[in-house]
Structure 1
Amino acid sequence: MENTTYRYAGLRRAKAPGLSVANAAERLRRFAYVEQRLMRLLASRIVSIPTRDIKVLLARLQYEDALHAEAWRGRVAEMRTNKSKLAGAPDPALEILFDEAEHVPGSYPFLAVVTQLLKPALVAAYRAYGAETNDLADYPSIRLLRQLLADEEEHSRLLTLALQDIRPSEQELQQARAWKEKLTAFLAAAGGIDGTAPRGEPRPREASVQPYKLPRGLTRDESLPRVWDFVKPPLEEVPAHLDYMMAIRLSEINVAEGLAIVLCETPAMPWSFYLDISRHCWDEMRHSLFGEAAIEQTYGDRAALPLRDYEGVYANEASPLEQYAVLGLEIEGQNMKYPPGKRQEWEFARDMARHPLMTTLQDFDWADEVLHVNIARRQLDSWFDGGLKAISSFSKGGKERRTEVKQRNAPTRVQPAPGSR
């Protein structure tokens, strides 16, 4: 009789034979790969989808998919599986599926493919695994499965809301249908996400004959006003400086988009690199939300203050290595100095502006930046030829180019929009 109480520590499938270690590890290896590809897929559209709220959502979801991949990679390594097996694709057909998915055009077709095909297929594979493995023997996997399924169900709910917010044209609806049909066939050719379904006919590459390239350039909707750059008021002009600080936080969407470029356009790095950049990307998008939340609380309208563009223009023009070196060493690294730096920003919000929400947000922004500097130093030490000892002139040259971009247009004094309270 199957357990229905707390015997067997509450694990229900304790006496079913379940999966062997080899079979379980192979499925989990596929899960790790799929989550890793979903991370990249979602990150790739942070730059090109114009809708701010969707950009923000994709930044969160790509990081959570990266965490899922990390969790499965760790579990596979516990199952008598050499870590080298995690380096490549577990199935060429699965690789082609995601290579093709990277070429889905536009906002609506892309979200439809992710929301209505790829994510549901992954959830179905997760549920099938949970129904087949022995809960007692494979407890670490079962525990992870419960946690990741909760995340994936939340992803599905949020993506569905985002998809419903878009009013697609007839052409976009047709594109979505065509891509879902085509990618369904590629998925079948791989035997499904977990490889257990009967395989369909092999599918040669179509769109992915050429690798996908991120389109460069700022893409913005009309939800927020924009300027090129800000004039920085002195601390003593407290209301003006607070507006400036909130607008700076809002503008960190530029940094998040730049990190999405770094993540997607830097090939052949260790997995730890992509996990770190994925985290950093979401952190910077969170910081943009810090500004949005503070502006909305202060003025009752998230569009009361503008965001600035020049940082995004620089991120689109610079190489991934240059912009990451400038960000990690020249920008965030300099913010560790006091004064001014992140500590002064927090003290200003607490002691001069006396803004409780910004005080909390700046406190956590400061903690995040300390982490980012440590991550950047670690990653750049192995990425840059010669390591940190040789990178100084390179990063300073990148900062000079960033300054050249900044000086293309005059800065603007931050002013609340008319009608903002």
Structure 2
Amino acid sequence: MSATIDIDANRTLLNRYRFVLHGTMHTLAGWLPQSATFELKCELGRAIWECAQHVNALYLRLREIQSPAFQPPPDEALVHLMAELPHAPDEFGIALAWQDVIVPDLIRALEHHENATFPNSDQPSVYAAHHILLDLRDQQKRLHLVIETARAEGRIKADAETWRDYVQVLLDAAGGVSGNGSRAVTPTSAPACRHAFETPREARRDERFTRPGADEELMPDEADYDRHTVEEFERYSTEMLAAETVAVVMHSFPRMPWGFQFDSARHLYDEVRHCLMGFEWMRQRGFDPFNSPQYLHIFTWRTQFPPVMQYCLLTMGNEVHAFPYRHRRVEEHKKTGDALSEQFVRYDIADETQHVRFGKRWLPEMLKHVGEPKSTDDYVAATISVWENEYKTGKLSLNVE
């Protein structure tokens, strides 16, 4: 079979796929904190990371066949679609728009692409398309289960369905993800359920979480191994807070270099995995993680500061200072023969080491990006002073507007 996608069409198509995945990544990051359903929140976190993997695969190919690699597509309808996507009425509106509308069309486009381009000359594109398809098909299965469970529980409202249908019309107006489909007329107005997106200032949890606030008791002393370890992994189960902070930061800096966005997507999903690690540990030991205190006020406290300061509080505050404690815990778990706890903490140390590297790499760039007059060292020192005086003491100042 002769190829039907030449190199010029290839550039256009790969850039459209990249644009949709890139925009979705930022949209889902904005929605992560305000999505209450735990299973959906976890899937959105994974989808953000997978979108970043897919954008990066396309970036590596695009930079070989066009310059610059990232270019806005010359299609107002596609640009309008991605600009409208964040304004969903609720978390299931955004999930349905992605799962039921964009992903199926993207799969169709990629399936055609891997068979219609030059199989040898364009093998790098074929390879990228093939592996993106593997992820998207698996993602569909996981999200389908989450959505159908929510539907059976009556959690998906009419507004979410209306939003999904609106996004379908917008996609049709763009000729689909590929732009090669027949084009419908772009709607002149959005449905009444459209809710203008605002960067979240509060994190949400579903009704299964019984304790949104802080633990009123002090953490047991490390010498009390059993009780302290329960609390240790209960704290891991709340690390969605860190993912939500990274999500806000990531969403707030769409024009930072691609490397920052790629690293942030990984950072975000690492924290989702740490949360799930805590859930797994607690369930194996007979505890219900939904009864754990969630410390949601910490997210609210962080979001009152500029996004660059939020990032600094997390990477140069929480993460830099955690290592002595984590290493002590590894040794204690070894002494008691608790292999599961030891392995979990060692993986956490590996992830957090990378997160600190991210912070040291990107904070100077972020400060330049926002025009901060302080040097990086001075800015970090001032931020750590806030972290020590408020976060470490638990005396959080909340400025409620």
TM-score, length-normalised on structure 2?
0.89
1:39 is matched with 25
Superposed, which structure 2 residues align to 1:360-371 within 5 Å?
360-371=343-354
Query: Greater shift after overlay, 22-31 or 178-187?
Result: 178-187
How far apart are the structure 1 equivalents of 2:194 and 2:339?
Answer: 53
Per-residue Cα deviation, 1:47-84 (whole angstroms, up to 9, x for no partner): 111111211111011110111011101111112x002x
How far apart are the structure 2 equivalents of 1:375 and 1:87?
Answer: 26
Q: CA deviation at 1:191?
A: 1.8
Which structure has the larger Rg?
1
> Is 2:389–2:395's contact at 8 Å kept on the other side of the alignment?
no
Q: CA deviation at 1:308?
A: 3.2
Counterpart pick for 1:394 among 382, 389, 392: 382
Q: CA deviation at 1:33?
A: 1.1
1:71 is matched with 57
Superposed, which structure 2 residues align to 1:79-90 within 5 Å?
79=65, 81-83=66-68, 85-90=69-74
How far apart are the structure 1 equivalents of 2:299 and 2:138?
Answer: 30
Kindly provide the amino acid, as one letter, of the partner of residue 376 in structure 2: L
RMSD: 2.6
> Is 2:203–2:244's contact at 8 Å kept on the other side of the alignment?
no
Kindly provide the amino acid, as one letter, of the partner of residue 131 in structure 1: N
How far apart are the structure 2 equivalents of 1:167 and 1:77?
Answer: 42
How far apart are the structure 2 equivalents of 1:89 and 1:406?
Answer: 48
> Is 1:380–1:387's contact at 8 Å kept on the other side of the alignment?
no
Residue 266 (str. 1) matches residue 253 (str. 2): yes
Change in CA separation of 1:394 and 1:266 when aligned onto 2, cut-off 3 Å: farther
1:407 is matched with 395
How far apart are the structure 2 equivalents of 1:203 and 1:287?
Answer: 43
Change in CA separation of 1:220 and 1:129 when aligned onto 2, cut-off 3 Å: same
1:383 is matched with 366
How far apart are the structure 2 equivalents of 1:248 and 1:50?
Answer: 19
How far apart are the structure 1 equivalents of 2:291 and 2:84?
Answer: 41
How far apart are the structure 2 equivalents of 1:24 and 1:113?
Answer: 26
Superposed, which structure 2 residues align to 1:7-406 within 5 Å?
16-79=2-65, 81-83=66-68, 85-167=69-151, 172-203=156-187, 206=190, 212-226=197-211, 227-229=213-215, 231-299=218-286, 301-303=288-290, 305-336=292-323, 340-352=324-336, 354-384=337-367, 385=372, 386-400=374-388, 402-403=390-391, 406=394
Question: Any stretches of 5+ residues in structure 1 without a counterpart?
Answer: 1-14, 410-421
> Is 1:115–1:159's contact at 8 Å kept on the other side of the alignment?
yes
Secondary structure of 2:118's partner? coil
How far apart are the structure 1 equivalents of 2:308 and 2:94?
Answer: 28
Query: Greater shift after overlay, 312-321 or 203-212?
Result: 203-212
> Is 1:225–1:303's contact at 8 Å kept on the other side of the alignment?
yes
Q: CA deviation at 1:313?
A: 2.7
How far apart are the structure 2 equivalents of 1:200 and 1:54?
Answer: 31
Identical amino acids, percent of aligned pairs:
24
> Is 1:52–1:223's contact at 8 Å kept on the other side of the alignment?
no
How far apart are the structure 2 equivalents of 1:175 and 1:210?
Answer: 10
Secondary structure of 2:256's partner? coil
How far apart are the structure 1 equivalents of 2:77 and 2:225?
Answer: 59
Displaced runs of 4 or more, over 6 A? 168-171, 207-211
Query: Aligned pair count?
Result: 389
Question: Any stretches of 5+ residues in structure 2 without a counterpart?
Answer: none
Change in CA separation of 1:233 and 1:129 when aligned onto 2, cut-off 3 Å: same
Q: CA deviation at 1:87?
A: 4.5
Q: CA deviation at 1:203?
A: 4.5
How far apart are the structure 2 equivalents of 1:370 and 1:179?
Answer: 41
Q: CA deviation at 1:397?
A: 4.1
Secondary structure of 2:300's partner? helix
Per-residue Cα deviation, 1:82-120 (whole angstroms, up to 9, x for no partner): 02x514345332121022111111233322222111111
Kindly provide the amino acid, as one letter, of the partner of residue 384 in structure 2: K
